[in-house]
A and B are shown apart, each in its own frame.
Chain A
């Protein structure tokens, strides 16, 4: 919500109180009330603007620890948007949510081998990226649609529907490389910084209205954000208690990021940049780079994408241009396109009829 919208909403609501007075016949009193209210609104607006100057910048740098914190909540939120059973897994008893990875009792074999295969391939690609030290985690989501997404801090998720359409390991390397590119380029982190800034601005304005005693005039949504106004300068470093204001803020920001990403994706430039990263990682690790193009051509064009995403035609053109230009001297030796291992292929659920 932008500030001008907020001001209009608040002004309209306070205007209603004035009209009530007028309806009661006390025109002088109503005029005086209106003047008072207008002055109070002006002062609160001014104070809100002043306080909002302390908000985190829209394009501010997010520390690695904060990225990792928000990455955890974003990956949970995004996963939850898909229906259970979520990740392909063969453990009937799920671990406690606070279990350390080294202490998780993993029963390898069966479906977990599919995740392990993707994790190994992903890790080898991520190690060649510009952020090799992130705690990369690769997951397989049980869903028939062709989809892949990433979350800050190094989470990369692909669906079984996507794996079922992949023809070889080079194609999978391209897809994972694309998502690694989004993480390396901090695309969702940038969205988070922007969401944090915008919610902070609204929260400061709302808090100023409440402080001025005219908070009841503000919409409930604004009052809700106002409660978070004291949390924005606290470090997001993994120390927030579940019931704390900071935890509420992080949840609110996570919802904001997920909402934005689901509506708008990452944008054209971010998609081209992620494709470029994919190509570089494929070449670095010896995979045949044209296989990424082949996968883009395999996936059906009919499915609706994001309005601000580039078309596959333009993506393919860009990939060709990179291979003919910037990456041309590095192509020698990048020719591997092994089949997916037979035991891995056998673990990928067949596509439902008609898919």
Chain B
């Protein structure tokens, strides 16, 4: 696919410097981290006014002047401060199951779709395209193993359960 970080063609006037939209008070933002605390004060140790889950819409009120890493948001009747790292301008996407029904983001981990491993189709493809493709497939499996080792502590719940059960 060679998505090089270079391009060759003249571009889009759409993105001229004057056309970007700034966020305004009242505009929606979305919670993207699990158990995000909306804090009474703009300090990491502040008391939680409410705890929100990924995908929850909040209304942006502005940046805290004393610590600009914190943003004032409104969730329903409650107001408080949230760190930027827990906010997204885009709603986390739901996935779609084979039956066409949505799987909520946090349920993907237990659906099997989040289990890391070279897919059956990937294995079939590697096995059917000659020895070089097979080696490429084996290397993907090795890389999956390295990723597993590197991020062991943050594996999806489903992977953890399987490991505990020894299956």
A positions within 8 Å CB-CB of B: 61-66, 68-73, 75-80, 84-87, 89, 91, 94-106, 108, 112, 115-117, 119-120, 123, 127-128, 130-139, 146-151, 153, 162, 175, 178-179, 182, 184, 188, 235-240, 242, 247, 250-251, 254, 258, 261-262, 265-266, 268-269, 271-272, 280, 283-286, 295-296, 299-301, 303-315, 317-318, 320-322, 324-326, 328-330, 332-334
Contact = CB atoms under 8 A, between A and B. Distances in A.
B123 A98 contact: yes
The 9 closest A-B pairs by CB, nearest first: A72-B122, A314-B11, A104-B145, A325-B20, A332-B68, A72-B119, A309-B7, A73-B125, A261-B1
Contacts of A112: 146
Nearest to B104: A133
A72 B125 contact: yes
A137 B77 CA distance: 40
Contact of B144 (A101, A235, A239): A101
Contact of B3 (A69, A102, A149, A328): A149
Interface string B62-99: 11000011010000000000001101111111011110
A265 B142 contact: no
Given A65-B98, A321-B19, 17 more contacts: A65-B97, A65-B112, A76-B136, A84-B135, A94-B139, A102-B145, A119-B147, A130-B88, A131-B92, A178-B5, A235-B98, A236-B121, A247-B124, A250-B125, A280-B88, A310-B11, A311-B8
Contacts of A315: 7, 11
Contact of A300 (B6, B7, B84): B6
A69 B120 CA distance: 7
Contacts of A87: 139-140, 142-143
B112 A86 contact: no
B75 to A, nearest CB: 18
A131 B88 CA distance: 12
A61 B96 contact: yes
Contact of A314 (B2, B10, B123, B128): B10
B136 A69 contact: no
Contacts of B44: none
